[in-house]
């Protein structure tokens, strides 16, 4: 006659401890969250002009978009041309070493692009670039 009374110590020895595996998973999750690069968007999608020469900018803290219908977007907000300087100054106060990248649509007026560039310079930004596609 066999009894099926197992020793409680044997049951504990056979159980798998998942705590170390969960620790590793949480550490990996934290690592990926911290090292992930978040994509900034200006507010609208633009059809950028092509350029044969270009200089890649690794990071831009202030993005300004000029759409095909000559709308200006800063930090996902539509901005009046007279309000560009104030919007850039506000973003520059958050990041004093910020650079400006203007994403102008190929159908946008050049005069508006110059006006946006001048407003960014008046706000105190020295490093301004215009975003293009590679040709």
- Asked if 119 contacts 88 with a C-beta cutoff of 8 angstroms, the reply is yes
Summarize pLDDT for 33-42 with one digit per residue, the tens.
887 766 566 6
Number of domains observed in the structure of the chain: 1
Q: Is the pLDDT of residue 79 over 80?
A: yes
Q: What is the mean pLDDT of residues 86-105?
A: 86
Summarize pLDDT for 110-131 with one digit per residue, the tens.
899 899 999 999 998 888 888 8
Q: Is residue 118 part of a domain?
A: yes
Higher-confidence position of 27 and 8: 27
Mean pLDDT of the chain: 81
* CATH number of the structural domain spanning residue 130: 3.30.420.270
Q: Is the pLDDT of residue 30 over 70?
A: yes
Q: Is residue 88 part of a domain?
A: yes
d(CA 59, CA 98): 9
Q: Is residue 15 part of a domain?
A: no
What's the burial of 68, exposed, middle or buried (CB within 10 Å: 0-12/13-18/19+)? middle
Domain coverage including residue 100: 50-134
Q: What pLDDT is attached to residue 23?
A: 92
d(CA 58, CA 101): 11
């Amino acid at each position: 006659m066999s009894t099926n009374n197992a020793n409680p110590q044997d049951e504990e020895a056979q159980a798998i401890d998942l705590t170390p595996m969960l620790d590793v998973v949480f550490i990996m999750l934290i690592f990926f969250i911290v090292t992930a690069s978040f994509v900034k968007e200006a507010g609208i999608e633009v059809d950028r002009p092509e350029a044969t020469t270009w200089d890649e900018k690794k990071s831009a803290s202030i993005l300004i978009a000029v759409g095909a219908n000559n709308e200006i977007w800063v930090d996902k907000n539509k901005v009046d041309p007279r309000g560009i300087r104030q919007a850039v100054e506000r973003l520059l106060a958050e990041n004093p070493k910020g650079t400006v990248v203007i994403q102008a649509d190929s159908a946008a007026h050049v005069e508006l692009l110059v006006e946006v560039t001048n407003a960014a310079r008046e706000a105190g930004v020295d490093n301004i670039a215009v975003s293009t596609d590679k040709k």
